[in-house]
Amino acid sequence: MATRRQHRRGFPLVPLLLSLLAAAAYGRLISDGAPSAPHLSVIRLSGSPPAEEKCEQSYGFLPCTTTVLGNLFLVLTYGFLMYKAATYLSAGSELLLEIMGPGLVGGLLLPILGALPDALLVLVSGLSGSKEEAQSQVHIGMGLLAGSTVFLLTLLWGTCVVVGKCDLGPNREAVDGTDTKGFSLTGTGITTDVQTSYAARIMGLSVIPFIIAQFPKMLKTHHGQRLAMLLALIVSFLLVLSYCLYQVFQPWIQRRKLAYAKHKHVISGILKHAQMQSLGRLLNDDGTPNEDVIRKLFHKIDMDESRSLSRAELHALIVGINFDEVEFDRTDAVDKVMADFDTSRNDIVEEEEFVQGMKKWLNEAKRNMPVGGAFSSKFNEYHERTRQEHDQLIDRSDEAVESVENPGWCITKAVALLLLGAAIAAAFADPLVDAVHNFSNATHIPSFFISFIALPLATNSSEAVSAVIFASRKKQRSCSLTFSEVYGGVTMNNTLCLGVFLALIYFRNLTWDFSSEVLIILLVCVVMALFTSFRTTFPLWTCLVAYMLYPFSLVIVYILDYVFGWS
């Protein structure tokens, strides 16, 4: 999934170094007594007498173990590193898209980069070792394929409906910013625009390669299986190419990604400006908003002392803020601030509205700020990460490419982020797959279920958090962008990542034995595509449908594989 991406951190390498040091220290712990041995001897107790088992170190030096807790530690460590890789790729892709705008780079390169972590994990799941080992580990790749698709279309989709819900009006469309009916299953919901339904239809078409690959199994014959693999492989990459070229020549998808990446810049700019006014700290020591300082800021902006802020006063505030290299329509920025703060819709911002609006912004900013350090420096870092972003969405002004004063530095930074993310993903994909495989052996839990549940959290968590935060703005435009990103991520997962998996199966001459797994992918994709392609309003009850599909998918695989013996 591309669905995804607005992290603007410099290079926070400290968490990466700590993870590597922890893994190395753990490696020394489990290999104590045999520091020079290429294969570590580890004893695991079971119902039988202790037996000596060996595990192989990744690259000859990364730690390994055969114990449950040891492999759980390694899965979490390598999973965190893959999460950081996805974050860097996401940040670099956004920055490059904002600089260069929709076109060849945004249409061809960036969708592939967004799916790179998943694709690498799928690739290494069956790339090394003997054919028998590859056949065993390749279930991890299929688990990630199925898990990512199901996760995006069930848990994430349903959560975005819950956090983005608004009251449904007389025309059964969501009314932006109103949420007075609580958790009414029919009286609240979200509304998207028609272009979002187009993205859902494209997602529905992306399941065609799965059907081609599964066709011989559907006919209950082994003849033509390799031909089906080859055809599905070709169709997968043709669909990837077609999807990318479609974005080049019909750049509305890229423009949505551009708008999605820019939605926080006005917020970060105003928060940074307020922090620098020497009125006090906007956040208390415990991280809660400082209401006294917020009120001082209100009175400073309220130049005519009317106890309300007019558009002219907000415009003066916006003009006085340095928004770095981005040049944008300040009048439009005032409109966005007014839309967020003026809950009474009387075209002025009263003091209590300003306090509540600032609290909302501060809480949103906190979720995107790093842990530790002074809050004042955090606001500076938050603003730096979002300096290419502002709260504009789908309309023409929202999708315009802003000018950048220092494109050379921005391009260098974007390329560095992309290279760093790609390097981390390439380096730790294989160790993560090995750790999952060893954890499966130690716990006797099928590797498919582990990778189905755990790996999508590592590769999609960055995009998931961003999508939930964005949907929580409770506007049709923000929901439209959010769900477009989700559908785009599923499309790339069903085409590019599947193409890599099919290439692995074909060229290593592995057995295609994934009937139950393909069934749940088809079931979830087809149900959600039909559900979302021909409607734009989704009442709250629709999230229950999405949520139920997740455990239902796991139960279906278990019953078909372990009761009916499909695999």
Helices 330-341 and 311-319 pack at an angle, to 10 degrees, of 120
What pLDDT sits at residue 404? 53
Mean per-residue pLDDT for 506-512? 91
Reported as a single tens digit per residue, the pLDDT across 100-109 is 655 555 555 6
Assign 539 to helix, strand or coil: strand
**Mean pLDDT confidence for 254-275:** 58
The predicted structure's pLDDT at residue 409: 79
CA–CA dist 337, 356 (Å, integer):
13
In order of their start, the domains of the chain are 68-249+407-564 (1.20.1420.30), 260-391 (1.10.238.10)
Q: Within a 10 A sphere around the Cβ of 14, how many other Cβ atoms?
A: 10
pLDDT at 15 over 50: no
DSSP 8-state class, residue 282? S
For residue 34, the 8-state DSSP code is -
* Mean pLDDT, the chain, integer: 76
Let me know the angle formed at the C-alpha of 294 by 290 and 299, rounded to the nearest 5 degrees: 150
Contact partners, residue 116, CB within 8 Å, separation at least 6: 89, 421, 422, 425
**Among 94-98, 143-147, 282-286, 381-385, the least confident range:** 381-385
Mean pLDDT on 494-514: 92
Residue type, 543: C
Helix (H) or strand (E) holding 39: strand 39-44
Query: How many angstroms separate the CA atoms of 167 and 189, rounded?
Result: 7
Half-sphere exposure of 392 (CA within 13 A, CB side): 23
Average pLDDT of 173-196? 88
- Region 50-67: mean pLDDT is 74
- pLDDT over 70 percentage in the chain: 72
Percent over 90 (pLDDT), the chain: 23
Question: In the prediction, which pLDDT does 255 show?
Answer: 62
The predicted-structure confidence for 223-261, as pLDDT tens digits, reads as follows 888 999 999 999 999 999 888 887 777 665 556 555 555
Mean pLDDT of 294-313: 83
Question: For residues 330 and 384, what is the distance between their CA atoms, to the nearest angstrom?
Answer: 19
Q: What is the 3-state secondary structure (H, E, C) of 441-489?
A: HHHCCCHHHHHHHHHHHHHHHHHHHHHHHHHCCCCHHHHHHHHHHHHHH
pLDDT digits (tens, 9 = 90+) for 392-411: 333 434 444 445 556 777 78
Q: What integer pLDDT is reported at residue 152 of this predicted model?
A: 94
**Residue 250, token pair as written in the block:** 């019909």
For range 482-495, the mean pLDDT = 89
DSSP 327-381: ---HHHHHHHHHHHH-TT-SSSEEHHHHHHHHHHHHHHHHHTSPSSS-HHHHHHH
pLDDT at 312 over 90: no
Residue 214, pLDDT score: 92
HEC-encoded secondary structure of 377-425:
HHHHHHHHHCCCCCCCCCCHHHHCCCCCCCHHHHHHHHHHHHHHHHHHH
Closest by CA to 481, choosing from 274, 195, 283, 218, is: 195
Q: Mean pLDDT, to the nearest integer, of 173-184?
A: 87
The pLDDT confidence band at residue 330, using thresholds 50, 70 and 90, is: low
Q: Find the largest Cα–Cα distance for the chain.
A: 84
Confidence class for position 112, pLDDT limits 50, 70, 90: confident
Write down the pLDDT at residue 6: 37
DSSP string covering 493-507, please?
IIIIIHHHHHHHHHH
Instruction: Work out the pLDDT band at 93, boundaries 50, 70, 90.
Output: confident
The 10s digit of each residue's pLDDT in 121-165 is: 888 888 877 888 888 888 898 999 999 999 999 999 999 999 999
Asked whether the predicted pLDDT for residue 44 surpasses 80, the reply is no
